[in-house]
Every structure is written in structure tokens, then in C-alpha cells.
């Protein structure tokens, strides 16, 4: 799954102030009333003034780093399922100061789905539960970093809900064309039975 989104903005969506290096920036992935999927970046201090649209896919906080002139901006436009998972998941051993609690409830359904998808693609592997049993611990195979995802009930209602959201986010799959109907050969009429002597 690949999402084509804009790279982080250079100024706050709410106040219009330019971001400075080391500013804490809140990023929202949202669906506007028009159906458009958009990314909204704003200063963490302006988060209370942000009027989000009806639907928020996820939210995360990053420390702003200005782009270098030689940086590949095309690469930054691709947000894959893998790096979205790595952005949203809580690294194991993270302290309460580094966890963005206000994002966890919003992100949980998408994060659970991404974990399931990445586990099936063998990009992460489950290694157990946290001591309190509330989060599943996964190890990212490439980096060996461990991440925690809230445990959830992945039942039919969950998949119906997440399918609707993902359809808007990545587009719904094109329906498969119906298999062509095999042409039938004309049926020969039976010859009349000969008369009995």
C-alpha cells in the first residue's frame, strides 16, 4: 500500500508562521468534506485552535527539520504503509514524555490494521505482550527496533470500518471484470426417428 502525500509543510496551517528547526509539529492525515485526503501540519502550540474536518485518519508529532537543498523531494512524497506504521507506533521502552497520548485513540484502528498487514508481509514479527497485556510488541525485521500496538478485537465490524476508511485513503480496488461467457456451439437438431415397418 502506497500513499502519495505532500511532504511536511514549511509553515503552520493555523497561524501561517514559518516552522523553525526543532519546533514540535503536529501532523494530521484527514479527509475533507469534499472527500479529498489531505495532510495538515501545524505548530503543537496551535493544536487547540485547529478545526479538523469530520474525519481524521491519524495524528502524529514530529520535531521539524528544514529540508536540505540536495534532498530528494520526490522520495519524501511517498508515504508507505511501512513508514506510516513506524511513525505512528510507540517504540518499546518509550517514556511517558515521548508518547503522544492524544494521538493514540485516533491512530489505534489504522495502526492495528497496518500491523496486521505488515506482519503478513513479514516486515514485522510479534514477540509478545507488554507486562500489562494492553499492547502487542512487534519487532521491525529490518531495523530490529521494537514497537508497541494496542491489542484489539479484529472482528468483522473492525474490518468493515477500516475498509471504508482505507478505501478513501488509498482508493477502492477496481472491480474485476466478469469472466467472458464461453460461446456455445449451435445445437444440432435431432433427426426425426425413422418410421417403424
Predicted confidence (pLDDT) per residue in 160-176, tens digit: 766 666 655 555 455 55
Dist CA 59 CA 106 (whole Å):
7
The H-assigned helical ranges of the chain are 73-76, 81-88, 101-120, 156-170
Provide the 8-state DSSP code for 23: -
Burial pattern 101-135, b for ≥16 Cβ within 10 A else e, equals eebeebbbbbbbbbbbbbeeeebbeeeeeeeeeeb
C-alpha cell at 12: 503552520
User: 77: pLDDT confidence band, cut at 50, 70 and 90?
Assistant: very low
Give the model's pLDDT for residue 87. Answer: 80
Amino acid at each position: 500500500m502506497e500513499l502519495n502525500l505532500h511532504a511536511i509543510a514549511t509553515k503552520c496551517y493555523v497561524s501561517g508562521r514559518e516552522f523553525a528547526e526543532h519546533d514540535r509539529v503536529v501532523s494530521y492525515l484527514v479527509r475533507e468534506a469534499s472527500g479529498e485526503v489531505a495532510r495538515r501540519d501545524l505548530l503543537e502550540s496551535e493544536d487547540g485552535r485547529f478545526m479538523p474536518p469530520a474525519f481524521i485518519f491519524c495524528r502524529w508529532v514530529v520535531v521539524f527539520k528544514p529540508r536540505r537543498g540536495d534532498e530528494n523531494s520526490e522520495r519524501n512524497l511517498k508515504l508507505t504503509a511501512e513508514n506510516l506504521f513506524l511513525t505512528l507506533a510507540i517504540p518499546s521502552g518509550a517514556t511517558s514524555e515521548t508518547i503522544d497520548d492524544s494521538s493514540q485513540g485516533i491512530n489505534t484502528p489504522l495502526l492495528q490494521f497496518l500491523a496486521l498487514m505488515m506482519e503478513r508481509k513479514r516486515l514485522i514479527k510479534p514477540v509478545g505482550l507488554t507486562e500489562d497485556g494492553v499492547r502487542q510488541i512487534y519487532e521491525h525485521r529490518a531495523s530490529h527496533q521494537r514497537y508497541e500496538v494496542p491489542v484489539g478485537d479484529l472482528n468483522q465490524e473492525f474490518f468493515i470500518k477500516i475498509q471504508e476508511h482505507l478505501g478513501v485513503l488509498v482508493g477502492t480496488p477496481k472491480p474485476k471484470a466478469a469472466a467472458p461467457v464461453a460461446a456455445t456451439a449451435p445445437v444440432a437438431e435431432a433427426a426425426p426417428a425413422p418410421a417403424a415397418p
